[in-house]
Amino acid sequence: MDWSSIHVYLPFLLKGAEMTIYITILSLIISTPLGLVFAAAKMCPWKIISWPIATIINITRGLPMIVVLFYIYFVFPDIGITLSSFQASVIGIAFCFSTYIAEIFRAGIESVDRGQLEAARSMGMSYGKAMYRVVLPQAFHVALPPFSNTLVMMLKDSALASTIAVTEMTRQGQLIAASTFDNTTVYTLVALMYLVLCLPLLALTKKLEKRQIKGV
């Protein structure tokens, strides 16, 4: 392990880390509202809406994320949809995680006693207002710890973007290692940088889980 070369490798890895964070944030921004829409559609009493969405969620959750990325990047051009590797990675990661987020939101909404919704409706609230003012705040409290854990997984799984040539942190490590053959130093640095990014999120998740147990 040649630690004397860290100052040479670090600027490239930091540039890759910036791309990793960028992919994660964009994927989160897209997947969160999409997951909420999927959750609402899956809970819809009309089968014509709930059944197709449930099928999409189950199929997507049953596929490896790398396969979804390959499909978007390599297969979509055959049907006239050409995306850059960055666009394909964000869309693929966001879509896959939206299905997990949908299940988190659905579980949170279903954890709220149905009587609270009925009580809000009896006070004259519309269904939408009762959901927004009464049900969703409580559902969010329940869903927050697993949701924050999903953010950690999203950050780590952004490394899969390297498989379609996005120069995020893992890809930068691969390029440096390929040119220097200093695999031990490079991949140790990559691992440490992922830990630096993930450990604060893991600590936040742990704190949120403790608050939920205490009922705060």
Q: Provide DSSP, 96-142.
A: HHHHHHHHHHHHHHHTS-HHHHHHHHHTT--HHHHIIIIIHHHHHHH
Give every CB contact of residue 123 below 8 A, 6+ residues apart in sequence: none
- Six-digit token pair at 72? 């978007």
Query: What gap in Å lies between CA 35 and CA 105, rounded to an integer?
Result: 8
Q: Output the pLDDT for position 213.
A: 59
Query: What gap in Å lies between CA 169 and CA 143, rounded to an integer?
Result: 29
Q: Output the pLDDT for position 214.
A: 62
Q: Output the pLDDT for position 146.
A: 85
- Six-digit token pair at 206? 């742990």
Query: What gap in Å lies between CA 135 and CA 160, rounded to an integer?
Result: 36
Label residue 5 exposed, middle or buried (CB < 10 Å: 0-12, 13-18, 19+).
middle
Higher pLDDT, 126 or 76: 76
Q: Output the pLDDT for position 215.
A: 55
- Six-digit token pair at 160? 């899969």
| Least confident segment among 6-20, 66-80, 93-107, 131-145 | 131-145
Give whole-number Cα distances, 62 to 66, 78, 103, in Å: 12, 24, 14
Residue carrying structure tokens 């499909």: 71
In words, the CATH class of domain 3-113+145-214 is: mainly alpha
Share of the chain above pLDDT 70, in %: 95
Query: What gap in Å lies between CA 93 and CA 69, rounded to an integer?
Result: 8
Instruction: State the average pLDDT for the chain.
Output: 88
Residue carrying structure tokens 């790398």: 66
What pTM was estimated for this model as a whole? 0.88
156 CB neighbour count, 10 Å cutoff = 16
Query: What gap in Å lies between CA 199 and CA 211, rounded to an integer?
Result: 18
For the chain, how far is it from start to end, CA to CA, in angstroms?
A: 47
Domain ranges within the chain, ordered by starting residue: 3-113+145-214
194-208 pLDDT, tens digit each:
999 998 888 877 776
